[in-house]
Amino acid sequence: MKAPSPPRSDHMRRAMRNLLLLVLVAIGLSLAALPRIERSFLAKTSDRESATLRIATESLRGALSRSEALPALLAERPILTDLLHDPTNVGLLPFVNEQLRQTALTLDLADIYVMDAKGLTIAASNYRREDSFVGRSFAFRPYFTDAMREGRGRFHALGLTSGQRGYYFAAPIIDETEILGVVAVKILLHGFEETWRNGDNTILVTDPNNVIFLSDREDWHFNTLGPVADGVLAAIDATRQYPLERIRTLDVAHEAVAPSVDLLRIQTREGPEEYLSNVGLIAAAGWRVWVLTPTGPAIAQARQVLALLILLSLFAGLVAALFLQRRARALEQQAQQRIYQETLIDRVAERTADLNAANRQLLQEVDERRATEDQLRRTQSELVQAGKLAALGQMSAGLSHEFNQPLAAVKAYAENALTLMERGRQEEARSNMGLILQMADRMAAISRHLRNFARRPQEKIGPVPLIPVLEDVLSLMDNRIKAAEARITIDRPEGDIFVMGGQVRLQQVLVNLLANALDAMETQPAPEIGIRVAGLDSGRWIVEVRDHGEGLTDDTMAQLFDPFFTTKSPGKGLGLGLSISYNIVRDFGGTLSARNHPEGGAIFAVELDDARDRVAEDEVAAQ
């Protein structure tokens, strides 16, 4: 038998280990890919937010540029020149104030105001208010100095009186060549913060010094993104741009994670915050506009994708595991089938070998049996002969008597005949001669029987006249019958009876049966043997020999026809008679059986086929 394939658990264990490794590698690769996925999501978010940045930048730039040219336009107004020529003109001042107020309302400006060459405000749109600019000097503000010196000025600052963050544009009021003063407009910008507050992200505007000027996160107002350069604080203080006490430095770190992806990490009191930053520039104001988007959602999305990838890996692993399991099972079944087939083939081969051996043995036994049968047949024939010789021995005493008696009679008849012939009594002598002939015939008959009996049976089976055979047997046994003082009765139908058999062997059978019957009644003073010949319905003939002895015990009945079974003393019986008789009758195609008579004694029955039809064909057999 071939070596069996490895058991299923080994197959499976190896496959499962490989699969687990594969899944782990897939998960590992997914984890390794996480930064890339995060970057990709951040880049996408950054792309999206660049639109927000554009809108914020453009709206701010628009607001500023709308107001940029206004001071120069206003400076053209003659009444402003007139007023500056005569600042104390009480007729003109209220008119100018009112005009400025109306203009500011119309143009949606926070304030419009006019300063003289020293920076003192002489007229303002907010003239009515308590905290009006009128009478206040703004000579320290860069928009004033710039306008005086360079022809225009711009500035952003926290309003000193309003406390609101504003953008200032200023232009000089010139009469011919003399600069009489400056007109300034202020716009408020905190409205933008309201708009920005609605979005998910934080928008802030930093000035060239990195100070956060606008932002929807109020707590960051006037904070700086990173440390400020030397002298900056002094300049801020000089121009009173922002309140110094509110300026704080935010702890900020920049990181460019991809070409278009910049991260901004800010340490706040609540902890670190991380943003994607998109930065735009408003060059005219020197401002930077920052759109800060929290990285949380993008990173969460990236992690979701990662989780999905891992789940997919696991699912693929599961499907693969199922597939492998199926395949392993199929392979195992195939292997088992192979083993089963091989076992079957082996078994068939073994069986065939067994059968061949058994066949050989059988053939050998058949040969042996045949040889034994031959041997048996030979032995049997020898035994038949031996049986016959034994019977002959038994009969010899009687035979000598049988011969002596007629011989003595012949002698007496012959002497008698001689005497009668001498005396011329021819007739009487002839009668004596007749008697002598009879005696000679009788002796010839006896002699013939003996010859036949002693001869090995070479006779053919054919029609045999039953009654003459029976009579011959009785005459052969006559001596013994007489010695036992036995009485023989014969019950037979009229007419000739022919049966199938051999004459001599049939005689032998009947001699045996009669001898056994006499033996069975040995101790009886007047033994009686009943012989019955009858035709059967089957068309066969039956010859029954009945005695009045002890009968047959069960034990005897069981072994009756076995060779050498005898209950007689060693000198008397060989135990061959019935066994030989049985075989003889069987050779004739008949049967020999024994039973007990209900009234005592044994009955031996010989059944033979009727042979009348064949008498004509084979006369010789009947001789």
Choice from 46, 549, 585, 592 touching ligand ADP (CB under 6 A) = 549
Nearest-angstrom CA–CA distance, 488 and 546: 10
Structure-token pair, residue 617: 């064909």
Q: Which of 441, 522 has the CB closer to ligand ADP? A: 522
Closest CA to 208 of 181, 235, 172, 178: 235
Nearest-angstrom CA–CA distance, 24 and 566: 98
Q: Which of 88, 523 has the CB closer to ligand ADP? A: 523
Stretch that binds ligand ADP, among 146-154, 326-334, 408-416, 568-576 (CB under 6 A): 568-576
Q: Which of 66, 568 has the CB closer to ligand ADP? A: 568
Nearest-angstrom CA–CA distance, 520 and 81: 188
Q: Which of 122, 517 has the CB closer to ligand ADP? A: 517
CB of 382 to ligand ADP, least distance (A): 16
Answer yes or no: are the C-beta atoms of 454 and 473 closer than 8 Å. Answer: no
Structure-token pair, residue 555: 């034990």
Residue 496's SS3 state is: coil
CB of 604 to ligand ADP, least distance (A): 6
Q: Which of 294, 573 has the CB closer to ligand ADP? A: 573
CB count in 10 Å sphere of residue 213: 21
CB count in 10 Å sphere of residue 220: 18
567 makes contact with ligand ADP (CB under 6 A)? yes
Structure-token pair, residue 45: 């978010």
575 makes contact with ligand ADP (CB under 6 A)? yes
573 makes contact with ligand ADP (CB under 6 A)? yes
Q: Which of 499, 576 has the CB closer to ligand ADP? A: 576
Residue 35's SS3 state is: helix
Q: Binding-site residue total for ligand ADP (CB under 6 A)?
A: 21
Answer yes or no: are the C-beta atoms of 312 and 27 closer than 8 Å. Answer: no
Residue carrying the six token digits 């069960």: 554
557 makes contact with ligand ADP (CB under 6 A)? no
Choice from 104, 429, 506, 520 touching ligand ADP (CB under 6 A) = 520
Q: Which of 109, 580 has the CB closer to ligand ADP? A: 580
Amino acid at the residue 64: L
339 makes contact with ligand ADP (CB under 6 A)? no
Question: CA triplet 488, 492, 495: central angle to 5 degrees?
Answer: 135
486 makes contact with ligand ADP (CB under 6 A)? no
Nearest-angstrom CA–CA distance, 13 and 26: 20
Exposure of 388 by Cβ count < 10 A (0-12 exposed, 13-18 middle, 19+ buried)? buried
Q: Which of 339, 386 has the CB closer to ligand ADP? A: 386
Structure-token pair, residue 33: 């890919």
Q: Which of 98, 550 has the CB closer to ligand ADP? A: 550
The sign of the dihedral angle between the CA atoms of 293, 297, 298, 299 is positive
556 makes contact with ligand ADP (CB under 6 A)? yes
Answer yes or no: are the C-beta atoms of 401 and 475 closer than 8 Å. Answer: no
Per-residue contact flags (x/-) with ligand ADP for residues 588 to 617, judged by CB under 6 A? --------------x---------------
Amino acid at the residue 129: R
566 makes contact with ligand ADP (CB under 6 A)? yes
Q: In what order do the strands lie in the sheet with 602-608?
A: 487-491, 528-535, 541-546, 602-608, 591-596
574 makes contact with ligand ADP (CB under 6 A)? yes
Choice from 395, 517, 542, 611 touching ligand ADP (CB under 6 A) = 517
In sequence order, the 6+-apart residues with CB closer than 8 A to the CB of 244 are: 233, 236, 237
Choice from 123, 189, 486, 552 touching ligand ADP (CB under 6 A) = 552
CB of 536 to ligand ADP, least distance (A): 22
CB of 571 to ligand ADP, least distance (A): 11
CB of 543 to ligand ADP, least distance (A): 14
Instruction: Return the beta strands (E) in 197-236 as ranges.
Output: 202-206, 212-215, 223-225
547 makes contact with ligand ADP (CB under 6 A)? yes
Choice from 45, 293, 295, 516 touching ligand ADP (CB under 6 A) = 516
455 makes contact with ligand ADP (CB under 6 A)? no
Answer yes or no: are the C-beta atoms of 236 and 212 closer than 8 Å. Answer: no
What is the footprint of ligand ADP within residues 496-515 (CB under 6 A)? Answer: 512
Q: Which of 417, 517 has the CB closer to ligand ADP? A: 517
Answer yes or no: are the C-beta atoms of 585 and 508 closer than 8 Å. Answer: no
Q: Which of 148, 510 has the CB closer to ligand ADP? A: 510
Using CA atoms, how far residue 562 sits from 515, 556, 580, 582, 593, in Å, is 18, 10, 9, 9, 13
560 makes contact with ligand ADP (CB under 6 A)? yes
CB of 559 to ligand ADP, least distance (A): 8
Binding site for ligand ADP (CB under 6 A): 512, 516-517, 520, 547, 549, 552, 556, 560, 565-568, 573-579, 602
